[in-house]
Structure 1
């Protein structure tokens, strides 16, 4: 029992004496979030996972993001009986019953409507209001505590039976609380009088126990715990614990006379929760009978508690008077917080913690203007600068560290370094007057007898504790081996004896042999992600980590001399990293400007915590981090210091149910109705049929995880339209427009705030009907109608044609005879004309052919004459003396008169092409490689001149003609069996 109480004890009183208490971070739901009214009389969670809140003005169903509100409407008989709700119960069939001021209502999930029921035997002892109800999974009886007494209602037959406690007094029958124990007994608490037990066998009320009955009066709430004890809360603040087996009663009076108790309950872990009037919530330690108050008591908020409910996840809901509803998530209570000053009233007070150091039971805090703070055994001591006294050098303390002698080294913002001897309570200050080269000390690191001091403008100072002398390492622009900047933020010596120095402009490693530095800057590639380094840490695996101002965290790889980076885009809470610590499982805890991140190095996964997760502030401070020897971690922030044990920070393992909550057409919600696509509530629907005109629809869904529900996530897909799952960050609606007609399947799955997914997705079938003109039946109807119309037209046309055929038959016969006679005459005339035309063409062709032949023969004759002349010339040449000049002149005249071959060939070619329609030009176009002699040879072959005559016509031997024909056949690309004359005659 003490194990679960420890965090609560820490919440309530561990930091007394000037230290603010830790709040339990209740998650609040009120009218601002959509609740219909802030007075919550009753809370219930149904079997689907929805939370229900009964208020004085409406019944609310909550899906972790939205409320569905039901109120009574006099014009609507299907609305709930009254808007004033007092009790709820779900029977073994999953039906939800609601007790209202106007009686009992049954909720119809399919239609989102109500059936209101009343006792038929109405009398002065009316069944209204219904204050409370009790049922069991073993039968169909629902027991109602009403203003007129006890009512037994059968949920199947829907019949009532009425039982009165007092026949004469109406108020004595009004039952404010009821309990059905494990044996089936009914414990009834009337408004006036003592607790009674109802005997169903005799239908009568009995005293609990004569010996203790006089204590059991004015009971406001009653319950049976997991061990079978009956607990009763009284109006005077006392709590009664009754043992049915022994018949003994224990009275707990810690709250008696202080706060009336309105409601009690037991959570899943056996803790007793007590809701009081103006005293808030108390938890009972049954081992010590100690009442421990929940710190979040607020005026008109959680100070008046009317209802409790322990949900499926194990968290407790609180319903309050005028304050709305609150969720107490036990995971959120594991972060503890304290502030140095309960209230900051003066300029020399500050809760912003810039440095943390712990040892044993002592916690030392350096504040931003509030001096040095020590907490030990619940007592707080403040150390401030007091001029003229041996005191702290300055009130803004940037760093705290301890040397081997136990001295505390305190770096201040503008007043140098103070060394505090805790045994003498004396301070020794080092500043620019006695050796320190800059009074702004940001960080201190102890290295044996030496102290490394990082300043804001003076670079790195090395202090020798024995000689009390300082050595300085500063940036020199001309010396690249000097430290990269004089503004130091962190110093760390790793297990490999490398001294790392983080500055605002580069990360440095000291080479102790020659006092030079190697520097890392932010450049392209696997370098450090930002040159402004705020913290350095080495984990148990000897990995060295660096937190930067804007570049997230970096891990240095000694083997490759490269850096691996993680930033916001990888899941880190914020890119400005102030501190890094490692827990016992090897996880890193990183403080940032946006909360704390837990980094699982093996999985490379982050889990982030902010104010909604229980942190007092998400804005942490540079260098303000420390890990205690027992594993507790401290991180300083602008509101104080957050401390916790990492193993107590648990993940929310609850797998949330996924539900459909709304359906929209054209961004308007669709209700269940006869002319609606919804015939049942959307969460009860498996298929929705839409017309093609309903082209814009939306589906709203929710994951019923109520812990930081704003971090729930979803994935959805509409098959076959969406090819992949679509991830959303807390977006609860999927919208689709202008889908083609067809059948689609919408699937959705969700996760809780810690990324635990419910992989069993919900599905909804969407059928989009095509327009009637695109349906098969409409097309078949159109085809049929067209066929019928065509058939009718065809029959009508056939009839007309038949009549016309008979009418025209006689005319056709007459006209046919006339036409045949004229056709015969025309054919005879055309035949004669054709014969005349053919004869004319043949005569012309014959004439032209004869003419060409004559040209050819003339050429041949002249060639023969040429040969004869050549012979005479040869004779003249051989016997020049035998001939006279007259013979030679005659020979010349004969040549001039009878021989001009070029002219003859031109005439021949012109006439040939006229007759043969440009044969030579066509031949040249088709076979551009042909020479002039090739063209001549082709013309002669086309008209059938024999080889001997061709040789004479061209003035060459027959052998040359054969060789020329061989070359010509190759140019014309003739096959061996192709006749050249036939080929040339066929050329068009």
Structure 2
């Protein structure tokens, strides 16, 4: 043994081999193997405790104070002894025989004066200061293993148990006392009732009961109740069971059916009708009545509404609110005979409820409230609303199912926890109820039973209020990591507002809370990126990617704790976003602006020049078009003049030829003979006008104005053409017929045809060639 004090250690030689040392009542005690119990004296010598020599053949596993100046000596196979004033005797605990058989291995005295003993064969026993059993934990009752190797009470008063296969934590400060059905014998608990000093449980397997005084007594099954149990309730001194197969009375461990109507979901007294009960079933409402001998029996059905009624409450006006699992909510009023419905109202989403499925009903201070979805509503002026107060807080803030307690106290069932509310404080308890069928049964004024999937839990409200809630461990940032393409760089959480490079804009945060009695829940937000909190999650890690340049504050919060933690940092801009870069961008921008301005100026000038040239071209084109139009007009006019002059000339020649013909006819007429000289003179004058060079010159002049260079080109191409051929060609160019040409040439039509034939030959046209078409196109 080494005795160390004030920086010095002294080696002490005990009287024999030892297994452990214990500090008991201010003294260091130990057992010498094969001997008794020794104490270490202030002189560093050893003294045998008188009266402990009998332990020489026994293995001592623990030495504990008894709270009265004595010592509890726990042995492995011979129970526990109480040594005091030099005498040792068996401790007065009723569990001595159990400890002897189960082989004690460890023991400690807890801060509240109770004792915890671990065994090799049967797990952990918790005893009060008088040695009476408080509870027993083994493998069948939730402990991972039956072999206890070590025990430790932490600073919060909870018990850590070292096992052969791991470590377990016994939450001694939890106001909930759990009964866990590890074997699945009970099934899922839906309801419970305290009746006749027995605790009754209604499960999906049937009804089970046990004595409330004998804590270790196992549950017994009530025969005849196999199947789903919905409700256990005491009415008129009898315990009624609402069952899948009907309604039963539970008496002396037996079940007696009193109603064959399936599905006794909810039963309650009818106001101002003693001896009558109203029950909601799978197929509507029924009435149970109590006989004069106190026995409950089925009375009758209520007509008018044949639906499944899962929940039912009766408000202060006597109206009955009914909830169907799927079809929604009804409010009915019964007639005076209680046999028919005199008023029925079915509510729809238009009345203010967001959902009509799986509704929950409650009466709070005489007012009916309905839970739809995740919120509660009250009925006001024909409409459902979340306005107003309920149980001392806004109705809109209540999210869980409501179960009333004593005045100023109530419980709220939420996913994964039950919150106990009182005027003094609010405390969240880690326990999960049956989802969709959450139920908390008030067994006594201060005692509640919480129905669970694998058993139940008991809550003593007085104990909860008497014990202050244990301190909540703080939330911590364990690690901060900068994740890059090449590596993961740790960033100490104590770093004050670090400035990170642009390529360090991916951060991973890990937080933690040393909360061992429940699963910690976290939520996060990053101010500067998103100011909204995330949903509550069990994940203690969150990562942010591709953070833009800016100032950020990471914030994390634990649901079971009041303080949040923060970490501020900044992400520097990329060099492309630095002030010199922006200066360069400004220069480049203004340079580009000047270049664009120069470009557009040149383009504008070019467009202006192009537009001016186009305008000049269009003007010249217009002028040319006007000149062409004028020329064309002149050509048209000259063509008209040519045509007119040609027609006039043809008419004149026709007249002269006719006159010449008539003169010759007159000369040969007897009695009218003209003198020869005069006749010749008239013919000469007529012939002179028929072959007038002046007429031809005038025609040629007009023709050349219309068909410029026609004669010149034709003469150049065909030099053998005579003036007469040219004259005929001109008339053909004008598309004149042989008949029209004959007077102009003062010859006959046949003569014209002959001339046309000769002209065709000179032009080299084939026999089928069109002379007029040739001249028209020439």
TM-score by length of 2: 0.57
Q: In structure 1, how many angstroms separate the alpha carbons of the residues matched to 2:49 and 2:290?
A: 80
Q: In structure 2, how many angstroms separate the alpha carbons of the residues matched to 1:587 and 1:229?
A: 44
Which position in structure 1 is the counterpart of 2:434?
A: 618
Deviation digits for residues 695-746 of structure 1, max 9, x if unmatched?
Answer: 54434332222221x234365767x88878878634434545667899x896
| Mapped contact 1:353–1:621 kept (Cα < 8 A) | no
What is the CA distance between 1:268 and its match in structure 2?
A: 2.5
| Mapped contact 1:507–1:533 kept (Cα < 8 A) | no
* Partner SS state of residue 176, structure 1: coil
Distance 1:694 1:237, change over 3 A: farther
What is the CA distance between 1:355 and its match in structure 2?
A: 5.1
Which position in structure 2 is the counterpart of 1:162?
A: 11
Is structure 2 residue 138 aligned with structure 1 residue 296? Answer: yes
Which position in structure 2 is the counterpart of 1:334?
A: 176
Among 545, 558, 574, the residue aligned to 2:369: 545
Is structure 2 residue 140 aligned with structure 1 residue 324? Answer: no
Q: In structure 1, how many angstroms separate the alpha carbons of the residues matched to 2:486 and 2:60?
A: 46
Deviation digits for residues 364-392 of structure 1, max 9, x if unmatched?
Answer: 5555464x55555668675555xxxxxx8
Q: In structure 1, how many angstroms separate the alpha carbons of the residues matched to 2:470 and 2:549?
A: 41
Deviation digits for residues 40-89 of structure 1, max 9, x if unmatched?
Answer: xxxxxxxxxxxxxxxxxxxxxxxxxxxxxxxxxxxxxxxxxxxxxxxxxx
Distance 1:643 1:666, change over 3 A: same
Higher relative contact order (CA 8 A, sep 6+): 1
Distance 1:722 1:524, change over 3 A: same
* Partner SS state of residue 294, structure 1: strand
Which position in structure 1 is the counterpart of 2:303?
A: 473
Distance 1:522 1:600, change over 3 A: farther
What is the CA distance between 1:318 and its match in structure 2?
A: 0.9
What is the CA distance between 1:311 and its match in structure 2?
A: 1.6
Distance 1:558 1:359, change over 3 A: farther
| Mapped contact 1:520–1:531 kept (Cα < 8 A) | no
| Mapped contact 2:159–2:169 kept (Cα < 8 A) | yes
TM-score by length of 1: 0.46
Which position in structure 1 is the counterpart of 2:708?
A: none
Among 329, 338, 353, the residue aligned to 1:507: 329
Distance 1:241 1:724, change over 3 A: farther
Is structure 2 residue 519 aligned with structure 1 residue 706? Answer: no
Which position in structure 2 is the counterpart of 1:308?
A: 151
Among 99, 105, 108, the residue aligned to 1:262: 105
Which position in structure 2 is the counterpart of 1:86?
A: none
* Partner SS state of residue 330, structure 2: strand
| Mapped contact 2:376–2:396 kept (Cα < 8 A) | no
Deviation digits for residues 417-445 of structure 1, max 9, x if unmatched?
Answer: 55x495998946555xxxxxx65544433
Which position in structure 1 is the counterpart of 2:728?
A: none
Q: In structure 1, how many angstroms separate the alpha carbons of the residues matched to 2:532 and 2:493?
A: 24
| Mapped contact 1:701–1:733 kept (Cα < 8 A) | yes
Q: In structure 2, how many angstroms separate the alpha carbons of the residues matched to 1:510 and 1:766?
A: 63
Is structure 2 residue 46 aligned with structure 1 residue 206? Answer: yes
Which position in structure 2 is the counterpart of 1:661?
A: 478
* Partner SS state of residue 316, structure 2: coil
Distance 1:181 1:256, change over 3 A: closer
What is the CA distance between 1:313 and its match in structure 2?
A: 1.8
Which position in structure 1 is the counterpart of 2:460?
A: 645
* Partner SS state of residue 258, structure 1: helix
| Mapped contact 1:400–1:444 kept (Cα < 8 A) | no
Distance 1:603 1:189, change over 3 A: closer
Deviation digits for residues 448-506 of structure 1, max 9, x if unmatched?
Answer: 2544343323x33456778986353224xxxxxxxxx6222233323332222333423
Deviation digits for residues 329-358 of structure 1, max 9, x if unmatched?
Answer: 12446244487x9765xxxxx744555444
Which position in structure 1 is the counterpart of 2:356?
A: 531
* Partner SS state of residue 303, structure 1: coil
What is the CA distance between 1:665 and its match in structure 2?
A: 3.6
Distance 1:263 1:686, change over 3 A: farther
Q: In structure 1, how many angstroms separate the alpha carbons of the residues matched to 2:454 and 2:76?
A: 40
- Which entry has the higher C-alpha Rg, 1 or 2? 2
Deviation digits for residues 150-207 of structure 1, max 9, x if unmatched?
Answer: 2345796xx75533336xxxxx45x532245675x54455556544444565xx4311
| Mapped contact 2:234–2:240 kept (Cα < 8 A) | yes
| Mapped contact 1:353–1:366 kept (Cα < 8 A) | yes
Which position in structure 2 is the counterpart of 1:413?
A: 244
Q: In structure 2, how many angstroms separate the alpha carbons of the residues matched to 1:487 and 1:520?
A: 14
Distance 1:283 1:503, change over 3 A: closer
| Mapped contact 2:474–2:561 kept (Cα < 8 A) | no
Which position in structure 1 is the counterpart of 2:345?
A: 519
Among 540, 544, 557, the residue aligned to 1:732: 540
| Mapped contact 1:315–1:327 kept (Cα < 8 A) | yes
What is the CA distance between 1:307 and its match in structure 2?
A: 1.9
What is the CA distance between 1:291 and its match in structure 2?
A: 5.4
What is the CA distance between 1:273 and its match in structure 2?
A: 1.8
Which position in structure 2 is the counterpart of 1:455?
A: 281
RMSD: 5.2
What is the CA distance between 1:583 and its match in structure 2?
A: 0.8
What is the CA distance between 1:310 and its match in structure 2?
A: 1.6
Which position in structure 2 is the counterpart of 1:101?
A: none
Which position in structure 2 is the counterpart of 1:359?
A: 195
Which position in structure 1 is the counterpart of 2:599?
A: none
| Mapped contact 2:480–2:490 kept (Cα < 8 A) | no
Q: In structure 2, how many angstroms separate the alpha carbons of the residues matched to 1:620 and 1:222?
A: 50
Q: In structure 2, how many angstroms separate the alpha carbons of the residues matched to 1:425 and 1:221?
A: 48
Q: In structure 2, how many angstroms separate the alpha carbons of the residues matched to 1:199 and 1:314?
A: 31
Distance 1:702 1:155, change over 3 A: farther
Distance 1:161 1:688, change over 3 A: farther
What is the CA distance between 1:756 and its match in structure 2?
A: 3.0
Distance 1:242 1:537, change over 3 A: same
| Mapped contact 1:237–1:255 kept (Cα < 8 A) | no
Distance 1:257 1:552, change over 3 A: same
